[in-house]
Structures are given as structure tokens and as C-alpha cells.
Amino acid sequence: MKIYITLILTFFKLGLFSFGGGYAMIPLIEKEIERHGWMTATEFSNIIAIAEMTPGPIAVNSATFVGYKTAGIFGGIIATIGVALPSLLLILLVSQIFFKYQKHPVNKMIFYGIRPVIVGLITTATVFVGRTAVLKEGAVIVGGADIFNSLNFGSIAICILSFIGLLKYKIHPIAMIGISAVLGMILFYFL
């Protein structure tokens, strides 16, 4: 019972204080997972990859997967309710006020202040996912020589090929995910 209360309170707090959507929420979820010892960074990175590939918002998908991994099906349901409930409540409360004062200068200034924080949170999420993707599992970089031995060159190659495929050849993101999955199986399973 205690785990369910912890899950709903944790994800309610994340849903309440996470501005900028699911990607901005990733570093906050990571800190909570680390604080509670629910899973490793690699496991969480895998959950982010799965949440990205499944339909729906990444924040809700991540909460569902973390809750499920931590406390089974009911844990997934509880974490999902926890992360979605603040948005529902805030939208109901704030929408009336927001539309009434939408053009007010103070309102505009608040959003000018919030936007850079969102960029910072999304960048942090990118660094976290990138770090777990390009470094070998359990790698800790201490000195310059450790970097070369810690890199996961297969993941780096898939990242570069995906980047080129998406930007230069305009491959559809869903197709790129499938291609990357096949490349991952070839590189990490067969080789």
C-alpha cells in the first residue's frame, strides 16, 4: 500500500511542477527514480525509448511504465493518474483566469521567463538520454583515456545515421525508429 501512495504523490508532484511537457519532465522523473531507487539509469532510458515509440504523451507513458515496473499493473494505473491529475485540475482552475487576462503584460512577462527554463529542462533530458545511449552500461568517465573505452560506438553510429536520415533524407520518424531497431538488433544481438 505504501508504494502506491508514494507513486501517486511522486507523480502528482511531477505533474504539478513540470512545465514544458513530457521532455521537460524527464530529468525530474529521473531524480525521483534515483531518490526512491526504483530502477537504474539504463532501465529508465529504455523506458523513455519505449514511451517515445508508443502512442500518447511521453510523460503519461513514462509514468505508466515506471509505475508498472515498480508496482505492477495497479502501480502503472496509480502513477498515470498521479501525473495526469494536476494538469486536469490546473486547466479547470486556470483556464477561466488565463483567458480573462491573456493580453495582460504581466502574463506575457511570466511566459517570457518560463520559456528559457523549458529549453533548459528539455536540454537536460536530451543530455540524460544521450549519455545513457552513447556510453556503455555502467560506464563512469574519470579521465580522458576512459572516454574512448566508455563509448558505445554502435549506438553512436545509429544516432548519426538516424540524424542524417531524418534531416538530409527526410525519412519519416516512425520508419527511422523501425530502421534503428533493426540496426540495434544487428549490432547488439548478432554481432
- Angstrom CA distances, 61 to 54, 66, 83, stand at 8, 9, 10
Task: Kindly report, residue by residue over 106-142, the tens digit of the pLDDT.
Answer: 888 888 888 898 888 888 888 888 887 888 877 666 6
DSSP element (H, E) containing 68: helix 58-100
**Looking at residue 20, what is its pLDDT?**
64
**Whether the predicted pLDDT of 65 surpasses 70:** yes
Predicted TM-score of the model (pTM) = 0.61
Helix (H, G, I), strand (E, B) or coil at 177: helix
How far apart CA 180 and CA 161 sit, in angstroms, is: 9
How far apart CA 106 and CA 68 sit, in angstroms, is: 42
What cell was used for 24? Answer: 521537460
What cell was used for 77? Answer: 494505473
Helix (H, G, I), strand (E, B) or coil at 123: helix
Tell me the torsion sign for CA atoms 134, 168, 48, 16.
positive
